[in-house]
């Protein structure tokens, strides 16, 4: 499965009201480290069981980035029960990203 594109229109449904944890990748097309993370996030999304994966383009969804106080990208945020459970900034290995989901 591919990551879900998260926008202000679907944030409540896909993230805030999600019955399963949600891993969100906040990124931008011009960001080199974001492009490095993209295959990792895609790989995690393909094998996701018990959680879902979304991506937020911060250039297009500035309100979401601002509400999460994102100052650097890539930023990964894990939501559980509509609340931020974990946050990570910068390039991470697949293993490190999966550990965030256990937080």
pLDDT digits (tens, 9 = 90+) for 83-94: 999 999 999 999
Strands, sheet with 52-57, edge to edge from the N-terminal-most edge strand: 4-5, 52-57, 22-27, 75-80, 83-89
pTM score: 0.95
Q: Tell me whether residue 90 is in a domain.
A: yes
Beta bridge partners of 83: 80
Count how many domains the chain has: 1
Q: Tell me whether residue 83 is in a domain.
A: yes
Give the closest residue to 34 by CA, choosing from 6, 70, 73: 73
Under the banding of pLDDT at 50, 70 and 90, the label for residue 1 is confident
Residues annotated catalytic, as ranges: 31, 34
Section 38-66 average pLDDT: 96
Section 40-59 average pLDDT: 96
Q: Tell me whether residue 100 is in a domain.
A: no
* pLDDT value at residue 28: 98
Section 38-47 average pLDDT: 96
Q: Tell me whether residue 32 is in a domain.
A: yes
Q: Tell me whether residue 62 is in a domain.
A: yes
CATH number, position 13: 3.40.30.10
Structural domain containing residue 90: 4-95
28 by Cβ neighbours in 10 Å (0-12 / 13-18 / 19+) ranks as middle
């Amino acid at each position: 499965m591919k990551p879900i594109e998260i926008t202000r229109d679907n944030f409540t449904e896909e993230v805030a009201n999600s019955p399963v944890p949600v891993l969100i990748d906040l990124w931008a097309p011009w960001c080199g480290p974001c492009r490095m993370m993209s295959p990792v996030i895609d790989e995690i999304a393909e094998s996701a069981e018990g959680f879902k994966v979304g991506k937020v383009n911060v250039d297009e969804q500035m309100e979401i980035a601002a509400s999460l106080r994102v100052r650097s990208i890539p930023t990964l945020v894990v939501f559980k029960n509509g609340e931020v459970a974990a946050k990570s900034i910068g390039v991470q290995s697949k293993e490190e990203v999966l550990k965030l989901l256990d937080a």
